[in-house]
Every structure is written in structure tokens, then in C-alpha cells.
Amino acid sequence: MSVIDWDKRLSIGIQPIDEHHKNLIGQMNNIALAAELLARPNDLAVLLRKLRTDMRAHFDYEEKLMDPLSYPQFKLHRNEHRRCEEMLADFHDKLMAERNFSLSSFLSYVANPFNNHVACSDQTLGDFIRRKSQ
């Protein structure tokens, strides 16, 4: 099953960023699929560690892009990144403590916050970058 389906609504029109988002969403869908196929918590933790690393690298990429452009919503945007990372870390901790994958927690801690961030704040950032480069 997919926890997020990629569609045009998620495309922000900046190619490297769209590629990062597709990759991260693909990893989230793989984690949900692996859990459905009864992967062990330790195996899911390997996938979660990679997701955390790649999510951090992606957020870093966007933040480095925003900084020199004096993006007016930089702080707000960066706070949302931190919040997504914290929730992913909390989910990871919860999985290790409970030794049980909860799909509803994965949606509320990981997939939905990221999906909402891309659909709202990253769209606003994409519009800003496009306007700046015109």
C-alpha cells in the first residue's frame, strides 16, 4: 500500500526538489509496505535511519537555497523542517520501544506532516524561487 501517492499537487516545479520529494515519499511507501509484509522492527529501523538521513539532507538543501535569497518565510519554513524531523525521530523511538509498527502513527507522525509541508510550504517556496529567477 502507499501512504502517499505522488501527484501534480505535490510538484513544486523545481526539478531537484521534486526529485528529493519523490525519493522521500518512495521511501515512506517502502517502509509501510515492508511493515505490511511483517518486516522485523530492526529491519524497519534500518529503513527509518536512511529516511532520517535523506530527509535531513533534503531540508538542508532547501535551507541553503532559501538563505541567500532572503526568503521572507525562512524561519517558519525551517521550523516546519525541524518539526518533521522531530516527529520522525519520535516515531522511530516509539517503534523501538514498542517493537510494533503502527500504520496510523506512521501516518500521523511521518507521512502526513511531510505531505502537508510539501503541499503548502514547499509550494510557496517554489513560487518564490520561480518569481526570483524570472
Q: Which is nearer to Fe ion, 88 or 122 (CB)?
A: 122
Q: Which residue is nearest to Fe ion (CB)?
A: 122
Residue 92 or 122 having the CB closest to Fe ion:
122
Residue 14 near Fe ion by CB under 5 A? no
Distance (Å, rounded) from C-alpha 26 to C-alpha 21? 8
Query: Residue 63 or residue 94: which is nearer to Fe ion going by CB?
Result: 63
Q: What is the 3-state secondary structure (H, E, C) of the chain?
A: CCCCCCCHHHCCCCHHHHHHHHHHHHHHHHHHHHHHCCCCHHHHHHHHHHHHHHHHHHHHHHHHHHHHHCCCCHHHHHHHHHHHHHHHHHHHHHHHHHCCCCHHHHHHHHHHHHHHHHHHHHHHHHHHHHHHCC
The one segment of 47-55, 67-75, 102-110, 116-124 that binds Fe ion by CB under 5 A: 116-124
Which part of the chain contacts Fe ion (CB under 5 A), choosing from 32-40, 85-93, 94-102, 117-125? 117-125
- Size of residue set near Fe ion by CB under 5 A: 2
Residues in region 42-101 near Fe ion by CB under 5 A: 62
Q: Does 111 bind Fe ion (CB under 5 A)?
A: no
Q: Is 122 in the site for Fe ion (CB under 5 A)?
A: yes
Q: What is the distance between the alpha carbons of residues 70 and 91, in angstroms, rounded to a whole number?
A: 33
**Least Å distance between CB 108 and Fe ion?**
19
Q: Give the interface with Fe ion as residue ranges (CB under 5 A).
A: 62, 122
